[in-house]
Amino acid sequence: MSSNSLILRREFFSRAGAATGLALLPSWTRAAEKLAATAPIPAATKRILADAALNAATKRGATYVDVRIGRYLNQSISTREMQVQSVAGTESYGAGIRVLADGAWGFMALDQLSVDAMARAAFEAVAIAKANARLQTEPVILAPQKGLGEVSWKTPLRQNAFAVPLAAKVDYLLAANRAALEAGANFISTSLFQINEQKYFASTDGSYIDQDIHRLWPTFTVTATDPKTGRFQTRDSLSSPSGRGYEYLTSGAAGVRLGPTTRYFDTYNMIEDAAAAARQAREKLSAKPVVAGQYDLVLDPTHLGLTIHESVGHATELDRVLGYEANYAGTSFATLDKWRAKNFQYGSPLVNFTADRTAPGTLGAVGYDDEGVPAKRWPLITDGILVDYQKTRDQAHICGQQAGDGCSYASSWSEVQFQRMPNVSLAPGKTPLTPLELIKQVERGIYIVGRGSFSIDQQRYNFQFGGQLFYEIKNGEIVGMLRDVSYQSNTQEFWNSCVAICDERDFGHFGSFFDGKGQPSQVSAVSHGSSTTRFNKVNVLNTARKI
């Protein structure tokens, strides 16, 4: 079977703002719905194909072989105001064969799947591995992995987003746009990204793993303008990309009211959030500029997820620590000597980070990674001390360990798998504490909601982060909105300034749907959980101030 890809992209506009999504969509968009109707290849057939590659590579001298047969479905819908801007759908199908021969890796991918083609590709992969071995100074040491036999895993979902009619999804996005415009927005753009990875893994360890993984991300940007001054302000969606089905995106979802904002956990009401975003973007137009200086920061999980991602998630990837990954966003300051010392104070004693591939509904949740390792949960930072990293099977021995962490992933069958981030989350506080109770303890501070622009250096150390909404705290009360806020610190100083974390009642996951890494670049999706957290005496900048 050959790989086939269909990309549908058109720009069109309708003068009838009240028309339904079905009326707005011309006939060519029907192909995007038919895309997901193609029947996947049966598991029994995939096993025959995989065995052909496993046997062929072994006969040519491979000491280890794994095969990934994948079918990847993607659909995205974009709208602006009351028009549909684009509908895009892709389907890709093929196989990747990775082998270990003479102590080196070899890889070959193909989109013509037959027993003979799989065997030929396996021969090529072995030849590549043996050629690589002539240049390699040290052999690959692969941690053992017990064969699992035939197993399967599926994202728990109630409604497959690809089975929902396209018109219904467009109607939902346009309803969010309408709500924002009626609430005072001048512009709004919305998007809905849907991904389905149907992945089959087989290896000479004796594992045959069938997985069906779904992810969904509804998002928007609202803009409000002031015609008198020419100024504008925006507010992005507070949704979290989710490892769930379409049930995550419902008009009846109830958010959790938290002071001036509403937060969404297991379900998301884009219509409600878009209307709130319009009001808040307009409020930002008259918000008071922040006065630069030191403040105590109260960071909402919708904001803190990105700071975690950049300063802890990427910093504890072992390939960055070792310098294997450097060109794309740098290495890491959290070097092996700090880990070996067993006393490196990454954060305050309140700071506990775990890596996790098991949490339901998260972007990183799978049953098994792309080298057959079962998903698990393990500590990275305990009581503020760096205790471990994220590792693949060929990295485990570097840390004296006998198993990989389940951190291998490739964004397509045609790309070689490598070390990717699991969900990395800050544990909630152990003492009962709500966000409003935490805010009452702050004399001079800023409460920050949502993700904004950021920058971080090539060692994941010095950084600057913005946000979506900023509220001034005086004597334990939120007294008004601020604008032009960004905070600046370094990773160790910042996490050591952590003095309070709300309890598990406030815990929620937020994350990144398109996390880039590697050259050629690949993307993965990952969630970061936290509760509202307080950091003392952090340097805050006014981003609009001219020097």
Provide the greatest CA pair distance for the chain: 76
Write the Ramachandran bin of 262: left for phi over 0, alpha for psi from -120 to 50, otherwise beta: beta
Written as tens digits, the pLDDT of the chain (547 aa) is 344 333 333 332 332 333 333 444 454 455 555 555 456 788 899 999 999 999 999 999 999 999 999 999 999 999 999 999 999 999 999 999 999 999 999 999 999 999 999 999 999 999 999 999 999 999 999 999 999 999 999 999 999 999 999 999 999 999 999 999 999 999 999 999 999 999 999 999 999 999 999 999 999 999 999 999 999 999 999 998 999 999 999 756 666 777 677 888 788 999 999 999 999 999 999 999 999 999 999 999 999 999 999 999 999 999 999 999 998 889 999 999 999 999 999 999 999 999 999 999 999 999 999 999 999 999 999 999 999 999 999 999 999 999 999 999 999 999 999 999 999 999 999 999 999 999 999 999 999 999 999 999 999 999 999 999 999 999 999 999 999 999 999 999 999 999 999 999 999 999 999 999 998 899 999 999 999 999 999 999 999 876 5
Please check whether residue 312 is in contact with residue 380, taking contact to mean a CB–CB distance below 8 angstroms.
yes
DSSP annotation string for 371-417: TSPBP-EEEEEETTEE---B--TTTGGGGT-SS--S-EE-SSTTS--
Contact criterion met (CB below 8 Å) for 227 and 279:
no
Give the whole-angstrom CA distance, residue 97 versus residue 250: 40
One-letter-per-residue 3-state SS of 363-375: CCCCCECCCCCEC
Task: Name, in order, each residue with C-beta under 8 angstroms of 44's C-beta and a sequence gap of 6 or more.
Answer: none
- Integer Rg of the chain from CA: 25
Residues in the chain: 547
**pTM exceeds 0.75:** yes
User: By the 8 A CB rule, do 534 and 498 touch?
Assistant: yes
b/e per residue, 286-306, with b = 16+ CB within 10 A? Answer: ebeebebeebbbbbbbbbbbb
Pairing, β 353-356 against β 377-382: antiparallel
For the chain, the domains span 21-215, 221-286, 293-542
Distance of CA 491 to the CA centre of its chain: 21
- 21-215 belongs to which homologous superfamily? PmbA/TldD superfamily (3.30.2290.10)
Which residues, other chains included, contact 257 with Cβ-Cβ below 8 Å and sequence gap of 6+?
none
- Of the candidates 273, 184, 270, 276, the one whose C-alpha atom is nearest the C-alpha of residue 232 is 184
Coil, strand or helix: which one is 110? strand
